Amino acid sequence: MTDFLRNIMLDPTRPIRVLFVCLGNICRSPAAEGILRDVVERNSASAFWEIDSAGTGHWHIGQLPDPRMRSHARRRGIELTHICRVITTDDYDRFDIIIGMDRTNISELRRLAPSIEGARKVVEMREFFSPSATYDYVPDPYYEGHEGFELVLDLLEDACQNMYDTLTKIHQQ
Ligand code: 4NP
């Protein structure tokens, strides 16, 4: 666990604000958003969370998630309805934690941060993987086949459940 996560302060009087970020904001980060929202809803905790996603790339602004990701997620009971957008400097103030999917996202998120405090909020998704995880990042599925999308959803489901448990405990302290 990074120092930031060990020391993160979450105001118990406000919702936990989580922003997921990937490159295109049409595959991994909107899927993470939908999966964490589903975990939160199943725990009747929607009032305590604000969840969003964004990309570092501009290609798909205004679009729904990739149809392949939507159909794989739907098979797991999750509807992805996010509209693609690019991360803004305001996001670094607004969110408590900004989660990137791979090393490239993390470098880009740190480069784009408007302040040291903002850069400190950037955390890699693998921090929430179970020890048994077979990957140490969330691979870009865009040029992959069905297995690539299933792998991403497996990794995200594991990480989002662990994130829910970890951040809920800190929020309630
Ligand atoms: P994502 O996948 O970062 O998980 O949304 C990608 C989607 C689109 C592109 C790259 C990655 N693209 O180059 O258009």
In the prediction, which pLDDT does 7 show?
Answer: 85
Record the pTM: 0.97
Domain range 20-171, its CATH number among 3.50.30.30, 3.40.50.2300, 3.40.1370.10, 3.20.20.70: 3.40.50.2300
User: What's the gap in Å between 12 CA and the centre of ligand 1?
Assistant: 35
pLDDT tens for 111-158 read 999 999 999 999 999 999 999 999 999 999 999 999 999 999 999 999
Pocket test for ligand 1, best of 25, 26, 58 (most atoms within 8 A of CB): 26
User: What's the gap in Å between 23 CA and the centre of ligand 1?
Assistant: 5
Q: Which of 28, 37, 120, 126 is catalytic?
A: 28
H/E run at residue 53: strand 49-55
In the prediction, which pLDDT does 9 show?
Answer: 87
User: What's the gap in Å between 121 CA and the centre of ligand 1?
Assistant: 23
What are the φ/ψ torsions at residue 84 (nearest 5 degrees)? -55, 135
In the prediction, which pLDDT does 6 show?
Answer: 82
Based on the residue annotation, tell me whether 140 is a catalytic residue of this protein.
yes
Judge contact between 21 and 100, C-beta under 8 A: yes
In the prediction, which pLDDT does 171 show?
Answer: 94
Extract the tokens encoding 106: 């993390």
CA atoms within 13 A on the CB side of 116: 0
The terminus-to-terminus CA distance of the chain in angstroms comes to 18
Q: Are strands 49-55 and 16-22 parallel, antiparallel or unpaired?
A: parallel
Helices (H), the chain: 3-7, 28-42, 67-75, 89-94, 103-112, 116-120, 146-172
Based on the residue annotation, tell me whether 84 is a catalytic residue of this protein.
no
| Ligand 1 atom nearest 31 alpha carbon | 4
